[in-house]
């Protein structure tokens, strides 16, 4: 990356897992950053040289001060859909370009073709951006490697028995750090207007293989036990049911065929995408609790 030397980049979702990494990469490269946060106290962990602006995607008029003298926006949508049109209108009134963190809902693979509300929301925001006249770059990460922590770390720290559905379903987990690096690259250099980038890890792995890799990396014997979809539903909170049903449909559709794999990370960054094994190695203490 090369420093822009121009107006700051506005980073929404600046304290989230991707936005926070993007902030660090941009500031390390000398790119001026303005971070959008809902509450000023949440910015305490951001670098000292980052400009802080408060605003809320659910209150579009609150974004005007944050957007003053901004050229490029990194948009991570973290709000209900009702204000999306008004937010995009405000972006178009102030900025020239937006990099939007979306999903691979246009990808011709059954894993990504199952209907779900988030895919519909992403598609609508993309339509609004296209209609606004903004120069845009769409970044579409697939399954995040970090989901393994959310899903399996409790079982790994416990008895080492991972009970999970669709062990044969294949995904290509992408490292969050690679996603952030691609986003930072598209924000800090030219040539990405109109870009539509699907990001995956470098290889297709079944869920059972991913659990085996975690065990091998940690030096622990992990046991995988297949759950039926109904058993999985019964073991998850009612509030999580829509997300659970979406995942079950995607895993079911993907079973029996390799995951969709792209070379986009390596093409854009000039180095190989990080493997799932490398991601586990670098996050081993998060699985064991030995920080």
Q: How confident is the model at residue 282 (pLDDT cuts 50, 70, 90)?
A: very high
* Domains and their CATH numbers in the chain: 9-143+174-199 (3.40.50.720), 146-172+202-259+277-287 (3.90.25.10)
Mean pLDDT over residues 15-31, rounded?
A: 96
For position 116, what pLDDT does the model report? Answer: 86
Q: How far apart are CA 118 and CA 175, in angstroms?
A: 21
Distances (CA, A) of 264 to 10, 101, 171, 272, 273: 24, 15, 16, 10, 9
Q: How many CB atoms lie within 10 A of CB 103?
A: 20
The answer to whether residue 2 scores a pLDDT higher than 80 is no
Tokens of 105: 């809902």
Mean pLDDT over residues 151-174, rounded?
A: 96
Residue 160 region, left (φ>0) first, then alpha (ψ -120 to 50), else beta?
left
CA angle 183, 173, 120 (to 5 degrees): 65
- Chain position carrying tokens 């900025």: 95
For position 291, what pLDDT does the model report? Answer: 54
For position 263, what pLDDT does the model report? Answer: 98
- Note the pLDDT tens digit of each residue in 121-137: 999 999 999 999 999 99
- Note the pLDDT tens digit of each residue in 234-245: 998 888 888 899
Tokens of 144: 């995040």
For residue 260, the 8-state DSSP code is P
For position 240, what pLDDT does the model report? Answer: 86
Q: How far apart are CA 214 and CA 279, in angstroms?
A: 10
The answer to whether residue 65 scores a pLDDT higher than 80 is yes
Q: How far apart are CA 57 and CA 81, in angstroms?
A: 10
Q: How far apart are CA 209 and CA 212, in angstroms?
A: 5
For position 290, what pLDDT does the model report? Answer: 63
Q: How far apart are CA 272 and CA 258, in angstroms?
A: 20
């Amino acid at each position: 990356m090369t420093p822009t030397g121009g107006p700051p980049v506005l980073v929404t979702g600046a304290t989230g897992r991707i936005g926070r990494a993007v902030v660090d990469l941009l500031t390390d490269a000398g790119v001026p950053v303005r971070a959008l946060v809902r509450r000023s106290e949440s910015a305490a962990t951001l670098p000292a040289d980052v400009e802080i602006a408060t605003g809320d995607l659910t209150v579009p008029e609150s974004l005007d001060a944050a957007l003053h003298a901004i050229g490029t926006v990194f948009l991570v949508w973290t709000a209900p859909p009702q204000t999306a049109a008004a937010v995009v209108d405000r972006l178009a009134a102030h900025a020239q370009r937006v990099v939007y963190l979306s999903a691979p809902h246009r990808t011709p693979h059954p894993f990504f073709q199952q209907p779900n509300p988030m895919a519909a929301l992403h598609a609508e925001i993309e339509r609004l951006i296209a209609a606004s006249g903004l120069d845009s770059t769409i970044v579409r990460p697939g399954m995040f490697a970090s989901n393994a922590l959310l899903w399996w770390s409790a079982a790994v720290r416990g008895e080492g028995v991972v009970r999970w559905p669709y062990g044969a379903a294949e995904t290509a987990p992408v490292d969050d750090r690679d996603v952030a690096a691609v986003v930072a690259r598209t924000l800090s250099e030219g040539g990405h207007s109109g870009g539509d980038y699907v990001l995956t890890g470098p290889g297709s792995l079944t869920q059972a293989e991913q659990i085996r890799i975690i065990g091998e990396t940690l030096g622990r014997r992990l046991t995988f036990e297949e759950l039926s979809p109904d058993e999985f539903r019964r073991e998850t909170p009612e509030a999580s049911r829509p997300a659970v049903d979406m995942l079950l449909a995607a895993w079911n559709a993907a079973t029996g065929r390799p995951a969709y794999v792209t070379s986009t990370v390596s093409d854009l960054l000039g180095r190989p995408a990080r493997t799932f094994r490398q991601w586990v190695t670098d996050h081993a203490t998060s699985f064991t609790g030995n920080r």
